[in-house]
Amino acid sequence: MVYRPLLIAFGVLVLAPLLGGLLTGFDRWLSARLQARVGPPLWQPFADLVKLWHKDRLTVNVVQILYANAYLLFVAAALAELALGHDLLMLLFTLAFGTISLVLGGFSVRSPYSRFGAQREIMQLLAYEPILVLMVVAIYLRTGSFLVSRVVVFPRPLLPSLPLIFLGYLLVVVIKLRKSPFDLATSLHHPHQELVKGILTDYSGPYLGIIELAHWYELVLLLGLAGLFWATSVWAAAGVALLVYLAAITVDNVSARVTWAWMLRFAWQAGLGLAAINVVWLYLWGAGMP
């Protein structure tokens, strides 16, 4: 069917915000329970988004709006590439362009809080991007292809042969979701931090809603990538994705914020080190694996 890819992409782009909003509500509810609070209902993120859309359209400059929309567009495009089984390297480039758009939006205003947050977002990009690249390289060494569609039809799960890569990816998820101890550039749902709202300080109303919507897309994308580690079964992939999300929430609730220098050093030493060891192991001995 000629229009089948378009229908798949459209369906994913429509359903992803619903799933992302529910997962965000679950995050806030579970975090509240872990802190002995009642917490908001699961649908609270949707109510918050509706409130943002009905607020006044105030902005510092027109360029800021452009970068917010570009952030949403690139993240949604990356999710569509995952759903359609496209190249993982292209997916990483698309996702990186989304992050860069958010950074440029932070630099487009005069607020020192926003600019500090943008600088820290760059540090986060430097911390996790090499790990993602090595993850894609390891997947290629195991499956012989960069295509998501090849990973899905691969007859064996990837996790047993990529355990260190998986641990490194857990670190990436915590950084990308801006969870403690790596909520350095901004703090999505905490009421206050030393940089106020960091890179999001000068966003408000519907434009802040655009960024929140992009975050839901990004959340679904990251969990979808986690599911590739056990893609032989839909339920197994969903289980792995859920475990990764629960691990990120747990780390968020038991950790205090660290400095950007500590994050960069830890990501390169622990995350990148584990990923590199796994890639070398696959390159030297992986060819003989069943």
Q: Which residue(s) pair with 147 in the sheet? A: 87
pLDDT of residue 192: 44
The label of the residue with tokens 């997916």 reads 91
Q: Do you know the residue count of the chain?
A: 290
Please report which confidence band the pLDDT of residue 190 belongs to, taking 50, 70 and 90 as the band edges: low
In angstroms, the CA 194 to CA 94 distance is 31
What's the average model confidence in pLDDT over 3-26? 89
Instruction: Give the CA count within 13 Å in the CB-facing half-sphere of 118.
Output: 20
Contact 238, 23 (CB under 8 A): no
CA 15 to each of CA 73, 84, 124, 274: distance values in angstroms, whole numbers, following the listed order: 16, 15, 28, 34
In angstroms, the CA 128 to CA 260 distance is 12
Contact 241, 229 (CB under 8 A): no
pLDDT of residue 193: 47
Contact 225, 169 (CB under 8 A): yes
Nearest to 77 by CA among 10, 161, 2: 10
What's the average model confidence in pLDDT over 76-80? 96
pLDDT of residue 1: 59
The label of the residue with tokens 């408000």 reads 204
pTM for the model stands at 0.92
pLDDT of residue 4: 77
Q: Which residue has the higher pLDDT, 243 or 178?
A: 243
Average pLDDT score over the chain = 88
The answer to whether residue 160 scores a pLDDT higher than 70 is yes
Which has the minimum average pLDDT: 64-78, 93-107, 110-124, 174-188? 174-188
pLDDT of residue 111: 81
The answer to whether residue 195 scores a pLDDT higher than 50 is no
Going from N- to C-terminal start, the domains of the chain cover 4-288
Q: Which residue has the higher pLDDT, 93 or 255?
A: 93
Contacts of 148 (CB under 8 A, 6+ apart): 81, 82, 84, 85, 86, 87, 88, 91, 228
Which has the minimum average pLDDT: 22-26, 40-44, 56-60? 56-60
In angstroms, the CA 169 to CA 51 distance is 34
Residue type, 32: A
